[in-house]
Structure 1
Amino acid sequence: MSTLLQTDLAPLARAASSTPTALWNDSADPSELRRSIEFGAVGATCNPVIAFAAIKKSPDVWGPRLRELAAEHPTWGESQLGWQAVKELSIAAAQLLEPAFEASGGRNGRLSIQTDPRLHRDMDALVAQAVEFSQLAENIIVKIPATATGIAAMEEAAYRGVSINATLSFTVPQAVAVGEALERALDRRAADGLPEQEFGHVVTIMGGRLDDWLKKWTGAERILTNPGVLDWAGVAALKRAHHVFTERGYHSRILSAAFRNHLQWSELVGGDLVVSPPFDWQARINENSIPVANRIDVPVPAQILAELEKLSEFRRAYEVNGMTPAEFEDFGAARNTLRQFLDADAQLDALVRDILVPAA
């Protein structure tokens, strides 16, 4: 596969300028996002883990601001104050992306903010918060978990005009179920005469977290694989999901997240999709001059895919009908990631508590 033109540019900028593959920054941290935009980024994301890290990283900014918020809202608890900080962090990041939003007609330039993971069992609460978050800025896109409950919430929120990003999503069957739900929402809007608009919907597959889960699962099952094979699992799922979305003509795009290796970018270049590496991964891709070539339609090496397909847990993640929506929430990667999101919520509460009520 021939290397793309504009070889004078760094790899990320070259891919962003020469292919349909959009770059997002996997953080709403303002300083990182500004630098990522220089690499060609046209979007960014926030979740409880990212928000906690960004707020903790800048105590000189958020300490005083949280104390101000507490004074302005004397009845608010730690969770309300922490989530207000998340909203403000997201609004500031969204402003940095407004030029890309305007230039793309709303397809790009999105800031993704995640619904509170503690609401994951309550469809109505997820929809209500998604609608609330969508009103923070014109270019907000809202993350909702890709569980049976969450997918129902996504369809309803999208019908109400919310731009959607699926999260807690690791597999092809999850991505396809979300893609179908978003198509239904568009059809419902058309049937009811609601205005057409560019939603910029994206459907995340957290490829690195699928790799992580398969490594844990094979270890527990005492299954040996050839070195490096499991590092292709997320890439295989992302390539297949992109192929299905393209073949079926879905309006939403696949988004690659949770980076563990550069393949989760380099093997997807050329696709009409989004890649969202953490800023440090972006810097390393550029520093190492990772080759830029159109590889989205290049299959995963046959020997590697054949070994992966021997694993029942990979087949569940890779086959379009590998799981039913009722099974999504209990998939190992989903349970582990949801626990991490919930723990980040608790850590954010504790951080706010320590600012407002420091130990004597």
Structure 2
Amino acid sequence: MTTSPLRTMTETTPTALWNDSSTLSELTAAIGWGAVGATCNPVIALAAIRADLPRWQARIAELALAHPTATESQLGWLVVEEVSVEAARLLEPAFAEHRGRNGRLSMQTDPRLHRDAAALVAQAEHFASLAPNVIVKIPATSVGIEAIEEATYRGVSINVTVSFTVPQAVAAGEAIQRGLARRDAERLTTAEMGPVVTIMVGRLDDWLKAVVARDGLDVDPEHLEWAGVAAFKEAYRVFGERGLRPRLLAAAYRNDLQWTELVGGDVVLSPPFAWQERFQASGHDPEPRMGKPVDDVVLSSLRSIPDFVRAYEVDGLDPVEFDTFGATRHTLRQFLEADAELDRIVRDVVVPAP
């Protein structure tokens, strides 16, 4: 029985481990298990601030004095920047060792900008300037695909987010590829850029479970646990077939299959810290299973759900439909709510209750 399943995975397969948190204590522990990167989003950044709230409340007060005309949102995002840069420092050794492919800390663009490609690109460039090992998250929406290509062309390493389906992942991967090709054509460096394309595997499962309950569909509940895994494996196949340079990244974990079935590929697995603790305690000896197809019986069952077909087939969604896919709307709303909650934390400091 292995004593460190995650380290075994990272040392014996091409699969990389990133930590789905920028909380310093969690990231430090994950690095000890072999993690060479970290992802973040508005909900996770909010959790990191809450985990050390007195400290960050004091810092908000200092920032408010230093920036007397800044809005609540602007002050909140200054804190997010500081949280992120602090975490990025822990990953500098891995960044140097892997020459930019790993060792990166993800910063997500403000979800309130999701309809404005130019604003997303501008913020991506700003975030990338904060530390050499920052990777910037841009959503796989119709507008986001445009921003992903342009930001890549401008030299920003992108982590595609708000992405749940094979069509989104492939469109985003091809947008990154176009941005890299434009840089290559102008003899701009791309060698140390480290783009990844996330599929939020558990959030696809969540959405399909909601659809099955809403529509009264007769689908084996155990089969629903495989939906995100199936989409990820299919995207991995298409990426290889089309020679797309970005790696795929699995996030939003809901079950053990989203670890055990994805080991062995040249991909990034980014479980939340609690899931890493669970995997570490499992004693499981990870085996390469990325190339093992999902059982035909399971796939046939899942194909009875129209939204799974749309998520699984490479042409199942047009880019304009990325915006209206249920998981996209649900996730964007969660991220926007986290933004609003961060505003409230700032407000309680700047304008405390009487």
Is the shorter-chain TM-score for this pair beyond 0.5, marking a shared fold?
Answer: yes
Deviation at 1:227, TM superposition (A): 2.4
1:295-330: CA deviations, max 9, x gaps?
A: 000111221111011211100000000001010010
Name the counterpart of 1:238.
232
What letter matches 2:51 in structure 1?
Answer: K
Name the counterpart of 2:209.
215
**Counterparts in 2 of 1:313-324, with a 5 A limit?**
313-324=307-318
What letter matches 1:126 in structure 2?
Answer: L
Name the counterpart of 2:285.
291
1:251-308: CA deviations, max 9, x gaps?
A: 1000000000111111000000000000000001111223310000011122111101
Deviation at 1:250, TM superposition (A): 1.1
Deviation at 1:134, TM superposition (A): 0.5
In the alignment, structure 2 segments of 5+ residues that lack a partner are: none
Q: Distance in 2 between matches of 1:230 and 1:8?
A: 30
TM-score by length of 1: 0.97
- Secondary structure of residue in 2 paired with 1:112: strand
Match of 1:325 among 315, 319, 326: 319
What letter matches 1:82 in structure 2?
Answer: G
Q: CA RMSD in A?
A: 1.0
TM-score by length of 2: 0.98
**8 Å CA contact 2:202, 2:252 repeated in 1:** yes
Is structure 2 residue 96 aligned with structure 1 residue 73?
A: no
- Secondary structure of residue in 2 paired with 1:225: coil
Deviation at 1:358, TM superposition (A): 1.9
Name the counterpart of 1:260.
254
- Secondary structure of residue in 1 paired with 2:36: strand
Is structure 2 residue 28 aligned with structure 1 residue 34?
A: yes
- Secondary structure of residue in 2 paired with 1:92: helix
Q: Distance in 1 between matches of 2:46 and 2:315?
A: 36
What letter matches 1:338 in structure 2?
Answer: L
Q: Distance in 1 between matches of 2:168 and 2:311?
A: 8
Deviation at 1:241, TM superposition (A): 0.7
Is structure 2 residue 170 aligned with structure 1 residue 176?
A: yes
1:127-148: CA deviations, max 9, x gaps?
A: 0000000001001000001011
Q: Distance in 2 between matches of 1:265 and 1:288?
A: 12
What letter matches 1:258 in structure 2?
Answer: A
Match of 2:52 among 58, 69, 74: 58
Deviation at 1:77, TM superposition (A): 1.6
Q: Distance in 1 between matches of 2:45 and 2:168?
A: 25
Is structure 2 residue 232 aligned with structure 1 residue 229?
A: no
Name the counterpart of 2:140.
146
What letter matches 2:178 in structure 1?
Answer: R
Go from structure 1 to structure 2 and tell me whether the alpha carbon gap of 1:342 and 1:21 turns closer, same or farther (over 3 Å shift).
same
Q: Distance in 2 between matches of 1:278 and 1:75?
A: 36
Q: Distance in 1 between matches of 2:7 and 2:299?
A: 30
Name the counterpart of 2:334.
340
**8 Å CA contact 1:266, 1:291 repeated in 2:** no
1:54-86: CA deviations, max 9, x gaps?
A: 101211221111111111111112111110010
**8 Å CA contact 1:211, 1:233 repeated in 2:** yes
Q: Distance in 1 between matches of 2:307 and 2:54?
A: 45
Name the counterpart of 1:167.
161
- Secondary structure of residue in 1 paired with 2:283: coil
Q: Distance in 2 between matches of 1:320 and 1:146?
A: 14
Name the counterpart of 1:279.
273
The percentage of counterpart residues that share the same residue type is: 59
In the alignment, structure 1 segments of 5+ residues that lack a partner are: 1-6
- Secondary structure of residue in 1 paired with 2:314: coil
Match of 2:119 among 116, 121, 125: 125
Name the counterpart of 1:3.
none
1:150-178: CA deviations, max 9, x gaps?
A: 01000000000000010110000000001
- Secondary structure of residue in 2 paired with 1:166: strand
| Aligned residues between the structures | 354
Q: Distance in 1 between matches of 2:73 and 2:236?
A: 37
What letter matches 2:215 in structure 1?
Answer: E
- Secondary structure of residue in 2 paired with 1:228: helix
Query: Where do 4+ consecutive residues of structure 1 move more than 3 Å?
Result: none
Name the counterpart of 1:21.
15
Name the counterpart of 1:355.
349
Q: Distance in 1 between matches of 2:61 and 2:256?
A: 41
What letter matches 2:47 in structure 1?
Answer: A
Q: Distance in 2 between matches of 1:198 and 1:251?
A: 12
Q: Distance in 2 between matches of 1:217 and 1:196?
A: 41
Name the counterpart of 1:44.
38
What letter matches 1:78 in structure 2?
Answer: E
- Secondary structure of residue in 2 paired with 1:25: coil
**8 Å CA contact 1:82, 1:352 repeated in 2:** yes
**8 Å CA contact 1:256, 1:274 repeated in 2:** yes
